[in-house]
A and B are shown apart, each in its own frame.
Chain A
Amino acid sequence: MTTTTPAAAASPPLSWNFYGRDPEDLQITADPGPGPRALTPAAEAGRGIRVCVVDSGVEPDHPLVGPLDGSWAAVKDEDGEIRIVPSTRGDVCGHGTACASIIRRAAPGVSLHSVRVLGARFSGSGEILVAGLRWAVRQRFDVINLSLSTTRTRFAEELHALADEAYFARTVIVASAHNTPVESFPWRFASVISVGSHGEDDPELYLYNPAPPVEFFAPGQNVTVGWLRGTTIRTTGNSFATPYVAGLCARILSEHPGMTTFQLKNALYLAAANVRLVDSDPGR
């Protein structure tokens, strides 16, 4: 197997102030965000966007998933070093395939990738999650779906730094809230987009939560998803609400590739079914 080298991302110099430079040096062409432009036809929604599913692997060519453009696994070698290697093992459980099938349904045109962080021995599973996520962030995927979290607080600081790194690099981490009321990470961090389930039947309904840390609620109850060996099941949980929002992110980014992560989050916020814009001129 081959060890991969994450794409060398050229880091801009850090800046703590703006002395000695001119505002003209800092001109930015911003994407205006969703506006009157026609959306991409549904069959191509998400075109040009690279989405990585960090999970149990993804079954390639599943009828609900289609082609995978990359499949990797985080593995720990005998020396304890974690490497990211190409993987043809597919999915060890079905969970990653389920997530990928939801992303494909929401954004059929995306380029899908997988990095498997489950399926190794228990010891070090938190480390493997962090390593797989770090690799995905440094590959500069546009969207990372993380329907997982860790309750182990010793990984919280590292995950926090990683979430911020992704945020500044315009890689959107869409992360599941835990299904039970416990502390876990990284969904708690403001630099990711966190998702929980609602219990409504509408498969396209998503809501903004005015009482974060869970920021959005999406369909996660009784969802039909892809599973192993080309099959489907119905399942329930925040894990399956998350990829729907990841797919929405891909759709928006496909139309507005220059968006920053905070713009993207704002676009999701404004388009949520329960968010109404204040009428600035109520007498009109």
Chain B
Amino acid sequence: MPSDHTAAAQADPSALELLQSVVEVARAIFGARASSVFLLDEAADELVFQAVSGEGEDFLVGRRFPAHSGIAGWVASTGEPMVVDDLTGNAAFDRAFAESTAYTPDALMAAPLVHGDRILGVLEVLDPAPQARSSLPELELLALFARQAAAALRVVLAHRAEAGIGADPRRRADAVRLVGELERLLLEAL
């Protein structure tokens, strides 16, 4: 489990548990080195690492980056899944960001977390096993799984408890805002 839970997740332990389960299952399905869920913070125009399994799980949760940068940004912007390979040695793959995560993958699959026509975030799988790479059925499988994850997230947030908010006021405010934003998006999409 991440040592540094985001305040948003602290605000909603069920959502944290669900998202952690999502990344762990995604990692298992694709035999991947890591998997992450980013949630979209529309107000800040940023994507936020909300759950991580594998490489980086000890320190990535809570990190933010511009919502339109890189492959995750494209997926979040368009609602389309994407698979890329041969990223190693590719100076363009958000090098600074990748290095800040202490891990640069060679291959990456990403699918949007969508509900209705709204984008909630992105599910990423890093370095999936070779047999799982770059095939259309695998891309479809990831997209299907991401859709299920988004639907589950909607259910969890709809029943979230109000207690359990962390001590850091700034993070707490961030968390409340982010979760509230998600709820708003979900309600609009219903």
Contact with B along A137-173 (1 / 0, CB 8 A): 0000000000011111100000000000000000000
Contact indicator B139/A122 (Cβ below 8 Å): no
Interface residue range, chain B = 35 or more
Q: Using a Cβ–Cβ cut-off of 8 Å, how many residues does chain A contribute to the interface with B?
A: 38
Identify the closest chain B residue to A229 (Cβ). B92
Contact indicator B71/A237 (Cβ below 8 Å): no
**B87 located at the interface, meaning its Cβ lies under 8 Å from any Cβ of chain A in the complex:** yes
Contact of A122 among B42, B84, B114, B143 (CB under 8 A): B42
**How many whole Å from A128's CB to the nearest CB in chain B?**
10
Contact indicator B80/A178 (Cβ below 8 Å): yes
**A227 located at the interface, meaning its Cβ lies under 8 Å from any Cβ of chain B in the complex:** yes
**A228 located at the interface, meaning its Cβ lies under 8 Å from any Cβ of chain B in the complex:** yes
Contact indicator A118/B117 (Cβ below 8 Å): no
Question: Bound state CA distance, A149 and B139, in angstroms?
Answer: 18
Query: Which segment, of B23-31, B62-70, B156-164, B165-173, faces chain A?
Result: B62-70
**A119 located at the interface, meaning its Cβ lies under 8 Å from any Cβ of chain B in the complex:** yes
Question: Bound state CA distance, A220 and B82, in angstroms?
Answer: 11
Contact indicator A234/B135 (Cβ below 8 Å): no
Question: Bound state CA distance, A141 and B95, in angstroms?
Answer: 35
30 A-B contacts, Cβ less than 8 Å apart? A92-B68, A93-B69, A93-B70, A93-B73, A95-B74, A118-B68, A119-B77, A121-B45, A148-B78, A149-B80, A151-B117, A153-B117, A178-B79, A179-B81, A179-B140, A180-B80, A180-B147, A184-B79, A197-B136, A199-B135, A199-B136, A221-B136, A222-B134, A227-B93, A228-B92, A233-B86, A234-B86, A236-B82, A236-B83, A239-B82
Other A-B contacts than A93-B69, A222-B135, 9 sampled, CB-CB below 8 A, are A92-B69, A93-B77, A94-B74, A94-B92, A122-B76, A222-B85, A227-B92, A228-B91, A237-B82
Interface residues of B (CB under 8 A from A): 40, 42, 45, 67-71, 73-74, 76-87, 89-93, 114, 117, 119, 134-136, 139-140, 143-144, 147
